[in-house]
Structure 1
Amino acid sequence: MPLVSGHEVISECTSRGLLAGAFNTTNIETTMGIVAAIERTGVPTFIQVAPTNVALSGYEYIYDMVSRRLASTDVPVALHLDHGKSLDAVEAALAADFTSIMIDDSEASYEDNIATSVKARALCPPEIALEAELGSIGGKEDDVAPEFASTTDPSQVAHFVDAVGCDMLAVSVGNQHGFVPNARIDFDLLAQVQEASPVPLVVHGGSGLPDEQLARLHQFGVVKVNVASDLRNAMIRSFGEAYNANPKEASLIRVSKNAVVAITDVVEARIRTFNPSIN
């Protein structure tokens, strides 16, 4: 199946009572592992990449790699720009035919965040789903941490979404990027945000949250949960274990295939945790 718009993934998940994982890719092994898990579960999904992770390949390579692998897949998948911190990143992803976009100016003032997000909305054709962020999520994304973290203010949500015209809202409700052992969702705050938001919500930092919390998110208007660190760790761990077992290992294809299996298992487990009804 060709890549679909983020709108279609949102619609499919909403109509079927599902929650979409959003899994970050960087290379062929990660992509193959993600798609294999999507095929096993049949849950519509976002595959995504952040600007910090296109330094090696560029957006076009990511598009080619993902779209080629998905050609033989029947599950709806959107290719999403994760944490587009600039309008240049948005334009580059759109030029490479990404089908879903995130603009993230959440560290700016409320007014500046709206102004930048509105410009991103204007760049995106109507068929492209736009995610914006209100409240600055803590933790580290690719070893980059925000200068400050702040929770989402429910009183700002309706106005922000209306002013921007975004299709998904990324929120800061106790979630943090990366592996943060003490990260916990504030479900009271999340419920207030859900009540105020006219669009589905997005939770970043899925790698650091306990399974029992991830399994509840579908009850609070969350349609998308981002997972990156788990996948990267699975690949690095797989290669490290191969080296430790045999420092003279020279079969890159065997080690790479083992990494794909490790990534597939992680992604499948996450999708099933997000969606208790499919287990």
Structure 2
Amino acid sequence: MPLVNGFRLLDIIKDEHVCAGAYNTTDLITTMGILDAVEKSKIPAFIQIAPTNIKLSDGHYRYIYDMVKRYADHMETPVTLHLDHGKDFKDVVAACEAGFGSVMTDDSRFDYDENIKHTHEAVQLAKGYGVPVEAELGAIAGKEDDIVRADNKYTNPDQVLDFVDRTGVNLLAVAVGNVHGLNLDPNIKFDLLKKIQDICPVPLVLHGASGIPDEQINQMVNYGVVKINVASDLRKAYIQAFGKDYEERKDRFDLIDCTLDARKAVRDVVYHKINVMNKLSPQEVH
């Protein structure tokens, strides 16, 4: 199945009442590991890349699009290619021009009115390409690539309706105790998440799922969350696979086997996350 538009994927997610993982890629091997697991599970998903990682493709979003599309063309499970944390308007433009099916404009570093202004500009641009826009209200703590934030600025439920109405955004990323990165201490405030769910007219997104316990992740589908981002766990699995191979035989130079081990490590993490997000046992996923 060719890559699908983000609006189409959101309709599928709603119809199937599932929660879609959004898995960050950086290169061909990570991409193949992610999509191996998605196809095995038959659960729709987002595959995404942040501008900070596009440097591995010499800054060309089209390279990422071509790479993901080539694999997706042979899949049965629907997948959307998504821009993660587009902090600069030019990255949103570049992703739309490259054929991405959805984009995130992340203007949460600005004050409320500035966030609305920049988000609205991105939404107006994306309308011309027919793709949905995700934005962040509040600010998520932790380390997201090269940006570190010490504390959560929780999403204010009283701002949600106004923010969505004035920006026209299609997906809302919330700060409810989730954090970016590993070795941190996420503390999901489900009471806050419930308040936002009851108010928000668009689907919710949860960032920073790598550090959140499984028993909390598998509740998200009941709180209006349709997209859950996973990045750090995949990178950790990828790097550790190479490290393990090296430690087992320091004189090895068989790049093929090491790379295949890394691909499998990514696939196994993604497959586990899919199961957890949708309260499935391995026997239920085929």
Q: 1:174 aligns with which of 173, 177, 183?
A: 177
- Using the alignment, how far apart are the partners of 2:33 and 2:56 within structure 1? 19
Query: Per-residue CA shift, 1:54-77, capped at 9, x if unaligned?
Result: 012021111111000111001111
2:138 paired residue number:
135
What secondary structure does 1:249 align onto?
A: coil
1:49 paired residue number:
49
What secondary structure does 2:148 align onto?
A: coil
After TM superposition, give the deviation of residue 260 of structure 1 in Å: 0.7
After TM superposition, give the deviation of residue 138 of structure 1 in Å: 0.6
Query: Per-residue CA shift, 1:211-235, capped at 9, x if unaligned?
Result: 0000000010000000000000000
- Using the alignment, how far apart are the partners of 1:116 and 1:95 within structure 2? 19
Uncovered stretches (5+) of structure 2, i.e. residues with no partner: none
| Residue pair 2:51, 2:86 contacting (<8 A) in 1 also | yes
| Residue pair 1:107, 1:146 contacting (<8 A) in 2 also | no
After TM superposition, give the deviation of residue 180 of structure 1 in Å: 3.9
Q: Which amino acid aligns with 2:187?
A: R
1:94 paired residue number:
96
Q: Which moved more, 1:180-189 or 1:141-150?
A: 141-150
Q: 2:69 aligns with which of 60, 67, 70?
A: 67
Residues 1:206 and 2:209 are matched in the alignment: yes
Q: Which moved more, 1:134-143 or 1:20-29?
A: 134-143
What secondary structure does 1:267 align onto?
A: helix
| Residue pair 1:37, 1:267 contacting (<8 A) in 2 also | yes
2:119 paired residue number:
117
What secondary structure does 2:149 align onto?
A: coil
Q: Which amino acid aligns with 1:188?
A: D
- Using the alignment, how far apart are the partners of 1:143 and 1:102 within structure 2? 18
Identity of aligned residues (%): 47
1:36 paired residue number:
36
- Using the alignment, how far apart are the partners of 1:51 and 1:182 within structure 2? 26
- Using the alignment, how far apart are the partners of 1:176 and 1:143 within structure 2? 14
The equivalences for 1:1-279 within 5 A come to 1-57=1-57, 58-125=60-127, 127-146=130-149, 149-277=152-280, 279=284
After TM superposition, give the deviation of residue 125 of structure 1 in Å: 2.6
Q: Which amino acid aligns with 1:201?
A: L
- Using the alignment, how far apart are the partners of 1:185 and 1:134 within structure 2? 16
Query: Per-residue CA shift, 1:35-87, capped at 9, x if unaligned?
Result: 11011110110000000000120211111110001110011110000000011
| Residue pair 2:82, 2:104 contacting (<8 A) in 1 also | yes
Q: Which amino acid aligns with 1:217?
A: M
What secondary structure does 2:84 align onto?
A: strand
Q: Which moved more, 1:157-166 or 1:147-156?
A: 147-156
| Residue pair 2:27, 2:56 contacting (<8 A) in 1 also | no
Q: Which amino acid aligns with 1:46?
A: F
TM-score calculated relative to the size of structure 2: 0.95
Q: How many residues align?
A: 279
Q: Which amino acid aligns with 1:272?
A: N
Q: Which amino acid aligns with 2:114?
A: D
Q: Which moved more, 1:14-23 or 1:244-253?
A: 244-253
TM-score calculated relative to the size of structure 1: 0.97
After TM superposition, give the deviation of residue 147 of structure 1 in Å: 6.9
RMSD, aligned CA:
1.2
Runs of 4+ in structure 1 displaced over 2 angstroms?
Answer: 146-149
- Using the alignment, how far apart are the partners of 2:125 and 2:149 within structure 1? 25
Uncovered stretches (5+) of structure 1, i.e. residues with no partner: none
